[in-house]
Structure 1
């Protein structure tokens, strides 16, 4: 049964899972009924939450068998089950954290325009995915046979140390969080919008700084992976991994439910008046783009760049937040982007 530090760990895990779940239906409702632009990033977001739920479930099972207690005080069978289920949970955490970052990256792809922004986001997502999958594989193959990792009664030999790869993953997650939180300030600051709106949108898209801090703390606690008292010394690592996943989901979810907040609190409509703003660019070439949603009548979003000016025009009252949140993102949610000659 649950005892020792396991009670705190399981309580925190379920609290984080529940809090982050609140944004799942709110986000779906906003995407489907408010802005009518359900995209791939929404499905990835939901998948990331499922991985957090599975992580929490297996940590709870591990807690029942003795996770959070000194391993020397546990019967051998309980200790084996505790470590085994904790390892399964940590595998979901390793992959789930990458999926959560993918959701944020796909979300940012909806709203960025410049090619180097898009390329840097893809590089971040692909590299993080590779490191996550590689770490998960090494986690289960660090010893041969794999059962000897969690069962001391099974003879085996070590072939690779997983700790450096775990540190690499933790550091890379923190770096990606930092970059994804910094990027909105780069492209939003050039928009000709009210300062208050710039700050509001940029801050809402930059909550990933909090996830970055959680990732750094989690990386510091990775030493518990090589401890002989595995069931107790990995408690902080498990907690901060769950907190990082939940905070990432919360940081991704908050900007996407802003239109719902505006409708409920301010009574605003997503279909009323026109809006227009100009984005300044230091490029000198001239190009014109048109983004059109074929599923919604008379909805058009045009981007025109003449010399150093890009004009964003949205009909049917797309607010600053809604446009930046990618209702008319590039090739997402049925939106087509084509360049006019």
Structure 2
């Protein structure tokens, strides 16, 4: 049997189908949310932040499709030099939109928790604000570092131009820090509601419902842990390791 590297495997149909299906589901849910919130005239910050997150998801789906059109989901030995450069360029902007969506998504959940708890539970309010601000700063910084790690910026996806770059480990170390902070944020936003809603004047059923719904963020934490364990293998990916194609 041929090894995977000697077979021209195109993962485009699966990747694009999954992402656009997720996007369609998200559009439906957020649209229903806005319809309901508009009917009761209670649109708040968490709704707008969720809409921004949806916009970033749509951008990610569009950029993934654009990347697939230039061979972004095939092994590099089956791509031309121009195709690799084009795919990597799109990928850098895709990363930026994806990273920012983590921040806005967590900010939306945090804003919802703040709205539900009202003016009480002061220490919990401080915790939520710290999570929102720290996550936003961490993800924005990583997004910036993603582009400025090489000068000129074009060298990030085209190493043939004269350039100077940070040590490869620098960006990877910060990516570990960002992933760890995002996991921590997901865990806190999943657990904290239980310490709030059980002390509010809600019915028992409503307390259970809100606690369960908001604790679903623990699934994001699990996905984040899996993703973090794979960060060190990024440099081994034949799509991102241009030196295999260009002989550096």
TM-score for the superposition, normalised by structure 1 = 0.63
State which of 143, 165, 190 in structure 1 corresponds to 2:199.
190
Structure 1's unaligned 5+ residue stretches are 233-341
State which of 41, 46, 50 in structure 2 corresponds to 1:41.
46
The question of whether the paired residues in 2 share the 8 Å contact of 1:28 and 1:42 is answered with yes
The question of whether the paired residues in 2 share the 8 Å contact of 1:167 and 1:222 is answered with yes
Cα distance in 2 for residues equivalent to 1:86 and 1:5: 15
Q: Which residue of 2 aligns with 1:291?
A: none
Cα distance in 2 for residues equivalent to 1:208 and 1:201: 12
Q: Which residue of 1 aligns with 2:244?
A: none
Q: Deviations over 1:43-88 (max 9, x none)?
A: 1110111011101111111111111111222101111001110111
The CA RMSD over aligned residues, in Å, is: 2.0
Q: Which residue of 2 aligns with 1:209?
A: 218
User: Structure 1 stretches (4+) deviating beyond 6 angstroms?
Assistant: none
SS in 2 for 1:162: helix
Q: Report which of the two has the higher share of helix.
A: 2
Over alpha carbons, which structure has the higher Rg?
1
For the pair 1:5 / 2:11, whether they are aligned, the reply is yes
Q: Which residue of 2 aligns with 1:177?
A: 186
The question of whether the paired residues in 2 share the 8 Å contact of 1:69 and 1:231 is answered with no
Q: Report which of the two has the higher share of strand.
A: 1
The question of whether the paired residues in 1 share the 8 Å contact of 2:176 and 2:231 is answered with yes
Cα distance in 2 for residues equivalent to 1:190 and 1:206: 17
Q: Which residue of 2 aligns with 1:106?
A: 111
Q: Which has the higher contact order (CA 8 A, sep 6+)?
A: 1
Q: How many aligned residue pairs are there? A: 230
TM-score for the superposition, normalised by structure 2 = 0.86
Structure 2's unaligned 5+ residue stretches are 1-7, 242-248
Cα drift, residue 118 of structure 1 = 0.9
